[in-house]
Structure 1
Amino acid sequence: MAIEITFELFSILFAVAVIAGFIDAVAGGGGLITIPALMWAGLPPTAALATNKLQASGGSFSATLYFVRKGLVDLRQMYLSIVCAFLGAAAGAVCVQQVDTEVLKLVLPFLTLTIGLYFLVSKRISAHDKRQLISPTLFAFTAALGVGFYDGFFGPGTGSFYALAFVTLSGFGLAKATAHAKLLNFSTNIASLLFFAIGGKVFWMLGAMMLVGQVIGATLGAKMVVSQGSKFIRPLVVIVSMLMSIKLLSEQYGLLVF
């Protein structure tokens, strides 16, 4: 299938990628903006998912690089989680081609709503680290692996799920949790992209153009995370989670269209 890339289409998708990259770096959920945009451009659903992984990889890499440079992420402590996230996403990308995702479509809106409510009311959400509930090794083989599988299998809201896991299980402050979530999200994006590429599902030219926009937006978002911290992240996570829930419910039940 060929897509005619006009200047108008390029401009719209580039702007969408910038906005999605910014939101994804701070709160996650950027895929719920870019995937519909890619489908609007004429890509079939599987190709839209695959191409989204290409441009999302650029955004998650640039945000992660910024966080590492600012000292929010220590890569030496995250190797096992990175590997587990990668393997989980690879397994999910393989499984999604074999099974029906309808159950996840039914459950996901309520999961994202729960995340939004948790970030709204939980006393564990703060700028400072709290007591760690599980070891980094156990985190790697549970949260990193499990959410990684989800990202390869389905995807929307992965950054929010990882941030929630780091806050609740590792006791991270919100900015630190967001930074580490983006690191693991980069690992899962690369794994998913690899398997989609093997299947020939990626539209490389379109994805590469959007990747540039993602890098710009994600870098701006990462800077906001570092400079503003939880006072900026927390309300945006709540808003994005609520909007994600509404959008997913509207798609599932035909309640709204936006």
Structure 2
Amino acid sequence: MEFAFLAVAAFLAGLIDAVAGGGGLVQVPALFSTYPNMSPATLIGTTKVASMAGTFNAAARYARTVKIYWGATGPALVAAFVFAMAGAWTLTMIPAEPLRKALPFVLLVLLAYTVAKKDLGTEHAPSLTGGRERLAALLTGASIGFYDGVFGPGTGSFLMIVFVRVFGYDFLHASASSKVVNLATNLAALLLLASKGHVWWQLGLVMAVANVAGSQVGSKLALRHGSRFVRKVFIVVVSALIVKTAYDAFLR
């Protein structure tokens, strides 16, 4: 029964993640609530198996249809991989509780900004070039990559808003680039946590199959309906994540 419940959670996470990011806020709490006495590092490591599979599927699907702008995506990917591995190592050493408590407030700021800027992410107009673009991409990859390694939920949403706000992408192109970078963070964290024995492979593989199925549905919806659809789903998802993360951090 536990595996079936977590497979459903992984399917929903893959669908949400493919459209607007934030699938980890479905998958991670589901796993933590099902196995509350298991090591947090092992639970996070197990979710990375599912997340990496779903993100790879979504990234591949986007790459066949949406142009990936590698000037920003490439440096962000490299920095994200390195710092996600550092974050995963940190996870094995310290508790993630402070991040859990800060997350709903960060998401609230992100939501308020997105709602206030009604045209944000509706047009694709890359705004940075050259050294400024590379520097912004490296800083983005380093900061969000470290966060994904040490905790993770909401990473896709954070990446999307940065690609929209900082780099001038529309939501569809931002979603495509965020999937590529998120794939690197998931892979790095998985490699580090697996090397330390913090992965429950049987459960992770069951969740991976379900996550891929969800990501197929989600990426198909995003590509069919475009940036305005992705923006609407993004606002709904982040609103739900604020409620969920606040409840988990302060009331549960």
TM-score normalised by the chain length of structure 1 = 0.89
Q: Runs in 1 of length 4+ with deviation above 6 angstroms? A: none
Two-structure CA RMSD over aligned residues (Å) = 1.9
How do 1:1-258 and structure 2 match up within 5 A? Answer: 8-42=1-35, 44=38, 45-74=40-69, 78-133=73-128, 135-254=132-251
Q: Contact conserved, 1:21 with 1:218, CA < 8 A, in 2? A: yes
Q: How far 1:124 moved relative to its partner? A: 4.8
Structure having the larger proportion of residues in helix: 2
1:4 equivalent in structure 2: none
Distance 1:183 1:11, change over 3 A: same
User: Which amino acid counterpart does residue 205 of structure 2 have in structure 1?
Assistant: A
Q: Which deviations, in whole Å up to 9, do the C-alpha atoms of 1:229-252 show, x marking residues without a partner?
A: 122211221121121111121122
**Equivalent residue of 2:98, what SS?**
helix
Q: Which amino acid aligns with 1:42?
A: Y
Instruction: Kindly indicate whether the alpha-carbon contact (under 8 Å) linking 1:89 and 1:188 is maintained by their aligned counterparts in 2.
Output: yes
Q: Which amino acid aligns with 1:195?
A: L
Q: Structure 1: which amino acid aligns with 2:144?
A: V
Partner of 1:3: none
Segments of structure 1 that go 5 or more residues without pairing to the other structure are 1-7
Whether the aligned pair in 1 keeps the contact of 2:76 and 2:139 (CA below 8 Å) is no
More off after superposition, 82-91 vs 66-75 = 66-75
Contact 1:63 1:222 in 2 (8 A): yes
Q: What SS does the corresponding residue of 1:99 show, helix, strand or coil?
A: coil
Q: Compared with structure 1, are the counterparts of its residues 76 and 142 closer, same or farther at alpha carbon in structure 2 (3 Å cutoff)?
A: closer
CA distance in 1, matches of 2:71, 2:166: 19
1-structure distance, mates of 2:29, 2:102: 20
Aligned residues: 248
The superposition leaves residues 199-225 of structure 1 with CA deviations (integer Å, 9 ceiling, x where unpaired) of 101010110011011111112111111
| Structure 2 unpaired stretches of 5+ | none
Aligned position for 1:5: none
For the structure 1 residues 168 and 75, does the alpha-carbon distance in structure 2 shift closer, same or farther, using more than 3 Å as the test?
A: closer
